[in-house]
Structure 1
Amino acid sequence: MIQVNRVIVTVREPIRQTELDLEMPAFVPIGRLRGELLEALHTLRPQQWLSVSAIELLDGERVLADGETLASLGLWDGSILTVRPAKEGTP
């Protein structure tokens, strides 16, 4: 069996009504992935995201926990994640 280390997911920004297809590591903890994704958003969409210092990732309505990975959640190519600025008090 071949282990897939990276997956292509659609990252949805509902407030800004945009989507990005991004290649993401399948086995990196969400806590670290959030930081990498925020850096990418700062680069790709600076006008919308540069003032945002923390984000949350959601699968449907469920906020993904820092210790989980895309692989442990069963999220593979074609999965859709929602990104939003984190609420105050959220890392």
Structure 2
Amino acid sequence: MVCFLKKHPYESVITEVRQQLGKGILLGLEFLIAADIIHTVAVDLTFESITVLAVVVLIRTFLSFTLEAELHGRWPWQQPREAR
């Protein structure tokens, strides 16, 4: 690790770690959304559980969008800065 830090500036190491951690969190959120949908449909299909699922999916989707914006500096539906 010490050799890695000597070859690269501190800021680029921190940026790379943040990018990788953010990508891992995004993937985890997607798996959690899929797991909640499968659980609700397969195990507990009531109006109340569907309502709770909808709220949870909305919250996790909002978190995914904001994390995506934080990682890339733009919203997911915007063009990359290189393409502008």
**TM-score class, shorter:** under 0.3
Q: Pick the structure with greater CA Rg.
A: 2
- TM normalised by structure 1 equals 0.25
- TM normalised by structure 2 equals 0.27
